[in-house]
Amino acid sequence: MNIKQETKILIVEDEPYLLRQIRDLLTRKGYIAETASSRAETVSRILNEDDISLYLLDVWLPDGDGFGLCSMIRTKNLRPVIFLTACDDEESVVRGLETGGDDYVVKPFRTAELLARIRANLRRKDDRTAATVWRCGDIRADLDANEVYKGEEKLNLSAVEYKLLLALMENGERIVRRETLMEYLWDRWDQEIEDNTLSVTISRLRRKIGAEYIETIRGFGYRLKGPVGKALA
């Protein structure tokens, strides 16, 4: 990916040395690196800045946590959120998924790994910007508004259910392997947690959009039943 000058990343980290290290690394790589060291400062940036391309969120901050910040981000946009944390326990993993996190990097981490994950998540974002409305049968996903409708009814999807639906719609009627969905949704999490979480999320999404829209291909994965149309709003 060619890094554009307007690619702004917000780093939220309360440890001053690590914050400087990440900021300097991203700046050297051509990104615009902005920083925040508290929940209060981050909330102000989330509410007032619309040009942030990706968020790096520390889980634990002196005046709050990154999970609540991620939920706030998801009310405004679908830009990538990567958690930076020393906590890799199952409870933190599941909570990160449910609040809409895209990735999870455990400290200490290699700089090459962090940069690779940033590039991968920015690519996923770019892949979705060409069209703003996706349709499959009665299901309509408005990417600008972050809303999904079945006919005229607005569906109440969680952040991870919404991401799963978009992952299936991106692939049209092609089969998407379970492993691919796990990597797309929960790149960092271990296999046991991913398997269980994916099965539960598929079941919840089926109940909300209709079981007829998602086909299980035994031994392989899932696919959306019906062609997907993509257009500008």
pLDDT tens by residue, 148-170: 999 999 999 988 899 899 989 98
| Contact call for residues 100 and 74 (beta carbons, < 8 A) | yes
pLDDT for 191: 45
Q: Give 81's strand partners.
A: 55
Residues in the chain: 233
pLDDT for 193: 55
- The pTM for the full model equals 0.61
Mean pLDDT on 24-53:
94
- Give the count of domains, the chain: 2
- Give Cβ neighbours of residue 212 (< 8 Å, ≥ 6 apart): 225
Percent of the chain with pLDDT over 90: 45
Mean pLDDT, the chain, rounded, equals 85
Any domain includes 137: yes
| Contact call for residues 121 and 102 (beta carbons, < 8 A) | yes
122 and 140 co-located in one domain: no
Domain limits for position 110? 8-127
Token pair belonging to 201: 């999320």
Mean pLDDT on 86-108:
76
| Contact call for residues 227 and 137 (beta carbons, < 8 A) | no
pLDDT for 89: 65
CATH assignment of the domain containing 64? 3.40.50.2300
Cβ atoms within 10 Å of 86's Cβ, excluding its own: 11
- Higher per-residue pLDDT: 210 or 60: 210
Residue 215, pLDDT above cutoff 80: yes
79 and 138 co-located in one domain: no
15 and 123 co-located in one domain: yes
75 and 120 co-located in one domain: yes
How confident is residue 190, by pLDDT bands cut at 50, 70 and 90?
Answer: very low
Residue 1, pLDDT above cutoff 50: no
105 and 157 co-located in one domain: no
Cβ atoms within 10 Å of 31's Cβ, excluding its own: 23
How confident is residue 88, by pLDDT bands cut at 50, 70 and 90?
Answer: low
